[in-house]
Amino acid sequence: MKLTKTQVNVLVALVTAVFMLIVMRFTSPKCKTCAHNDASDKDIVMFGRDSCPYCIKMKEQLEKDGVWGRVKYEDVENDKHAATMFAKEDADGVPYFVAPYTGKSASGSQPTVELLDALEL
């Protein structure tokens, strides 16, 4: 089977594009504080403040219910990057939860079961 010059050019372009995507996937720099970098082992992002009594209550509740290990905590009070990420969420306050896999979010203190339902987890 002989390929035309156009077919060869298209094939070369496709192979190049796939190669570039692979290279970008494995060499792109990661921000150490971005929630999405931990997506492989954390399916809940909690935005909070260490001084917030509701955030402290939710953390304790999630620990008690065995869910805290699934949470990536982002401190919006002491971490500028976390504060920037939180601002993009257009949330009213903390605690605020996001499930990167489902795209759902929930705010405020609530029972763990209701939180997981709201996040569709």
Give the pLDDT band (50/70/90) at residue 20: confident
Q: At residue 20, what are phi and psi to the nearest 5 degrees?
A: -65, -40
Find, among 38, 54, 69, the residue nearest to 106 by Cα. Answer: 54
Q: Which of 3-17, 86-100, 106-120 is predicted with the least confidence, judged by mean pLDDT?
A: 3-17
Judge contact between 27 and 20, C-beta under 8 A: no
pLDDT at 46: 94
**98, containing H or E segment:** strand 96-99
Please, what are the domains in the chain? 35-118 (3.40.30.10)
Query: pTM above the 0.75 mark?
Result: no
Task: Name the strands in the sheet holding 71-75, side by side, starting at the edge strand that comes first in the sequence.
Answer: 71-75, 44-48, 96-99, 104-107
Q: Give per-residue pLDDT as tens, 31-73.
A: 444 444 444 468 899 999 999 999 999 999 999 999 999 999 9
Both tokens of 119, joined, read 């996040």
Q: Taking the chain, what is the end-to-end CA distance rounded to the nearest angstrom?
A: 51
97, pLDDT greater than 80: yes
